[in-house]
Structure 1
Amino acid sequence: MYSPSFYQIAPVIAVCASLAAVPLIALSGSRPNLREFWTFLAAGTKFAMVFSLAGYVLAGNVVEVDLIRVLPELSISFRVDSFGIVFALVSSFLWIVAATYTIGYMRGLDEHAQTRFFVCFALSLCAAIGVAFSGNLLTMYIFYEMLSLSTYPLVAHHQDLEGRAGARKYLVFLLGGSVGLVLPALIILFALAGTLDFAYNIQSGIVPEGTGPTMVVILFFAFLFGFAKNGVMPMHAWLPGAMVAPTPVSALLHAVAVVKVGVFCTTRVMLYVFGIDLMADLNLGIITAYIVSFTIIMASIIALTKDNLKARLAYSTVSQLSYIILGVALLAPAAIQGGIIHIVNHAFAKITLFFCAGAIYVATHKKNISEMGGLGRVMPFTFGAFAVASLSMIGAPPVAGFITKWYILVGSLDAGQMAIILVLIASTMLNVGYFAPITYKAFFGKPPAGVSYEPGIKEAPLIMVVPIMVAATISVFIGIFPGFMMQFVQMVIP
């Protein structure tokens, strides 16, 4: 156990480690090995700080750091609690995994502007941890916007017409939602409550008693749709368009930072701004549950129609993100726990799936599922990991996704929501429908006409395959032994 002063500085180091690495990465552009050393040093430092804070939080502590006092009642501040540490642990650890994979991908394809890529990558992780450790809505909003701006060059990385169009759409939706909806709601809430600090009790929130129901509803849905990174329809359209980016960016967007920040912000506001009691009184929980249920089903149906692997995975992400919001919206303790733990479970499974898509492209230059017949026999490690991650997305034991669906199912029963149980069953069948054929085709299908694969293993470079196997293995491990992360999740519920 460290001294109390260490825990006051640790969140700042965790947030700023990647920020400090930015000039070092930029200045090392002509020396790739040194550039990547700074990336790993920052990633390792960030994870070490977060991990040390995790033990402190697990002992029942909350770390609060006031950085800048903006107004007497408003500051830019950090707060490290059990909810934030779940997201921080996942994103900081996966940055190490993603950085390893990215080196193999970028060098394997001899991508241009690699230094800019690693600079923006570092900035985005600074923003993600900043969101996780935000002590109030103002701090969270600042880091949320920082993430949007720092990932824009990543989405536009290829600098062609398709890349620029996808990046513009990305920015329009994200900034349009945050500036047009979240910022006004934030200002109104501050005028009403006199504070933007998150509540300590998820039952009560910070919305003052006597606030008119109409105003509460307007503010709630401004946050729900304004945090467009959460992928709730119809604010999801940026996400498939962002698939023009390189695969490591897709993995970053879908598993580590961007969409996780969206659902984290949404659920943080639901629990720590509005609170369970107010949401239950106005039926906001069940209304939200039905809205995101529509997203879950429709996105899964669209995924079935996509032949491009990354496009199918993109719509899978749209669907899977809403499980997190659905669990919290049901307001039952088990469902809330299921929603929060899906931040972890989805992260490891989805990053595995996108890593596999990138490895397939590097090894074969194939993007479409229809071209992947027989590839599993020459890329068994990649497609084996893909199969494991697919099982997690489907919710099959013993992989991590089963834990999510079990808790949400129990929570649905506790809440008396049989319709949501039907949604879970239907979405599971759809998950099987768009994931199982990929694995079956790869291992048991025939190669496309005129194509034959020579016997032997023809995997992507080892530096890409190892992160894939690590992420897939952890998905299985946390499915069998969910206790470590569930400790933090259970501390969220009073």
Structure 2
Amino acid sequence: MMTQEALMQWIILLPLLAIPGILLFHKKQNLREAATLIVGTILLFAVVAFYQGFDAGQGAYVHWWELLPGLNIAFRAEPLGVLFSLVAGSLWLVTSIYSIGYMRGHGEGNQTRFYCFFAVAITGVMGLAFADNLFTLFVFYEILTLSTYPLVTHAGTDKARHGGRVYLSILLVTSILFFLFAVIGTWAETGNLTFTAGGVFDNSTSKMVVSVLLALFVFGIGKAAVMPFHRWLPAAMVAPTPVSALLHAVAVVKAGVFSIMKVCVYIFGIDLLAELPITDWLLYIATAGVLLASLVAMRQDNLKKRLAYSTVSQLGYITIGALLATQSGVLGGSFHIVAHAFGKITLFFCAGAIMVAAHKTEISDMRGLGKTMPLTMIAFFIGSMSIIGLPPAAGMWSKWYLLMGTLEAEQVAVMIVLMISSLLNIAYLLPIPLRAFFDGNRSVVSIRRDEIKEAPWPSLLALSITAIMTIVFFFWPQPFYGLAESLANIAGGAHG
């Protein structure tokens, strides 16, 4: 029987084991993609097995390497990391299935390179998810940035290279100028970078210093797309849709908000956050970003760009959950990582399917599309419901607890903005499937089997799975809810 410690290390390293098979069979598509699917399946079973054996009271710990005294590459399992690993582990396999249909159907080149860097990126995600300290988190955060750059620039066009430069420059500049200085500052003040329940700062630390460090973390973790450091996300939409789907709806952006949540809970602690005046200012900046990004999303006719700005807005919900400094906020923000991941990846999958099957990218061209792509547009409707927060989709639970968090923190203005944002979600998402199922005369389109032309079946299978899971997690939010609740209890009970 494999120990939890050994299993955690396998989870981190497993994606890399797909690379030799991908390279060996680079001329044989079926075998090359089989290597990714086999390793992806093993990884999914591994993260599920790890979750089943996980005990929040005694998380597995592994030490790899000590660079300098106190600077360690080490890993420890805690509820938020296990939640993130479950999300990324399950969606890597689904996205790999989707990629087969998309990459072949769209005639993409350099597919071997694509699958290799995809695997490296997932290892970056898993290492980040289980990081025991800020140093380990920073190392894998950068691995994720560098490994996804070739995926963003995959097309090799001038537009793709420009998008890649914006992507890389913003993420590297914010992480080196702000994030790294925040890590160094934390080390200088406390001599401790290990994630600790209740935080690492004591009463002797100046509130001014702690406030500056918090601001450096929030803006330095650029992957969270807190305005004004959000432009990399729309710029990265030049990537193939599978990249947009997993890396910009799940792995990269969720690595950002995951890091902010982990720093808030385990480096500062919600008790200290609640005492800092700057916490409210950062909360209002994140809240303004939610509203502004929603307004910008409404103006986009390109479907992927609309979804990109929607992601900027939705990431703000998770940052708000962390900065509310309440148990409900932590619970809602953590669960929104899951709800948004499954809902938004469904929408990106649908966008790619529409481009491959119907060659349409602009929303204004999609009227009546439900006639030829009914399954895709039904899935889009389900994903939209989750992002909006309507039952029966998982997004309702995360938004409910976030609203409870605003009431606990007595932040009525933030609550009102979140409610307005949900109304804006309706305004920029629901017209897309409605336009698809109604023609110009407002009558329902007729769907005939001989006229249906959906995307290749692997892509259709993947988007159907994620759409179904958004509904499943409404009725059965465990195991994710249990992990988010454990994190909230750790956050609230650290000093209790």
Aligned-pair CA distance for 1:44:
1.9
The answer on whether the counterparts of 2:159 and 2:238 sit within 8 Å (CA) in structure 1 is: yes
Q: Which has the higher mean CA deviation after the structures are superposed, 366-375 or 14-23?
A: 14-23
Choose the corresponding residue for 1:22, options 15, 19, 22.
Answer: 19
Q: Please state if 1:321 is matched with 2:315.
A: yes
Q: Please state if 1:145 is matched with 2:142.
A: yes
Deviations along 1:129-173, one digit per CA (max 9) or x if unpaired, are 110011101111110000010000000011011000000000000
Q: Match of 2:75, SS? A: strand
Q: Which amino acid aligns with 1:197?
A: T
Match of 1:104 in 2: 101
Match of 2:123 in 1: 126
Rounded to whole Å, the distance in 1 between the matches of 2:252 and 2:39 is 19
Match of 1:187 in 2: 184
Choose the corresponding residue for 1:473, options 463, 468, 481.
Answer: 468
Deviations along 1:308-349, one digit per CA (max 9) or x if unpaired, are 000000000000011111112112211210110000000000
Match of 2:292 in 1: 298
Match of 1:241 in 2: 235
Rounded to whole Å, the distance in 1 between the matches of 2:424 and 2:436 is 19
The answer on whether the counterparts of 1:14 and 1:45 sit within 8 Å (CA) in structure 2 is: no
Q: Which amino acid aligns with 2:165?
A: R
CA RMSD, aligned part only?
1.5
Match of 2:80 in 1: 83
Q: Match of 1:483, SS? A: coil
Q: Which has the higher mean CA deviation after the structures are superposed, 283-292 or 252-261?
A: 283-292
Counterparts in 2 of 1:145-184, with a 5 A limit? Answer: 145-184=142-181
Rounded to whole Å, the distance in 1 between the matches of 2:29 and 2:101 is 12
Counterparts in 2 of 1:24-39, with a 5 A limit? Answer: 24-39=21-36
Rounded to whole Å, the distance in 2 between the matches of 1:100 and 1:111 is 15
Q: Which amino acid aligns with 2:216?
A: A
Deviations along 1:224-248, one digit per CA (max 9) or x if unpaired, are 1111010110000011011111111
The answer on whether the counterparts of 2:91 and 2:246 sit within 8 Å (CA) in structure 1 is: no
Rounded to whole Å, the distance in 2 between the matches of 1:34 and 1:180 is 43
Match of 2:387 in 1: 393
Aligned-pair CA distance for 1:355:
0.2
Counterparts in 2 of 1:147-296, with a 5 A limit? Answer: 147-199=144-196, 201=197, 204-296=198-290
Measured at CA, do residues 184 and 59 of structure 1 come closer, stay the same or move farther in structure 2, by a change above 3 Å? closer
Choose the corresponding residue for 1:457, options 452, 469, 479.
Answer: 452
Rounded to whole Å, the distance in 2 between the matches of 1:207 and 1:44 is 41
Percent identity between matched residues is: 44
Q: TM-score by structure 1 length?
A: 0.95
Match of 1:443 in 2: 437
Q: Match of 1:357, SS? A: helix
Q: Please state if 1:486 is matched with 2:484.
A: no
Q: Which amino acid aligns with 2:429?
A: F
Rounded to whole Å, the distance in 1 between the matches of 2:151 and 2:71 is 33
Q: Please state if 1:375 is matched with 2:372.
A: no
Deviations along 1:258-287, one digit per CA (max 9) or x if unpaired, are 000011111111111111121111134332
Rounded to whole Å, the distance in 2 between the matches of 1:487 and 1:115 is 38
Rounded to whole Å, the distance in 2 between the matches of 1:160 and 1:456 is 34
Aligned-pair CA distance for 1:410:
1.4
Rounded to whole Å, the distance in 2 between the matches of 1:254 and 1:267 is 18
Q: Which runs of 5+ in 1 are unaligned?
A: none
Match of 2:402 in 1: 408
Match of 1:45 in 2: 42
Q: Which amino acid aligns with 2:113?
A: R
The answer on whether the counterparts of 2:56 and 2:79 sit within 8 Å (CA) in structure 1 is: no
The answer on whether the counterparts of 1:95 and 1:256 sit within 8 Å (CA) in structure 2 is: no
Q: Match of 2:430, SS? A: helix
Q: TM-score by structure 2 length?
A: 0.95
Q: Match of 2:72, SS? A: strand
Deviations along 1:362-413, one digit per CA (max 9) or x if unpaired, are 0011000000010012111000000010011111111011011111111212
| Corresponding residue pairs, total | 484
Rounded to whole Å, the distance in 2 between the matches of 1:484 and 1:470 is 18
Aligned-pair CA distance for 1:175:
0.5
Q: Which has the higher mean CA deviation after the structures are superposed, 246-255 or 141-150?
A: 246-255
Q: Which runs of 5+ in 2 are unaligned?
A: 491-496
Q: Match of 1:25, SS? A: helix
The answer on whether the counterparts of 1:206 and 1:272 sit within 8 Å (CA) in structure 2 is: yes
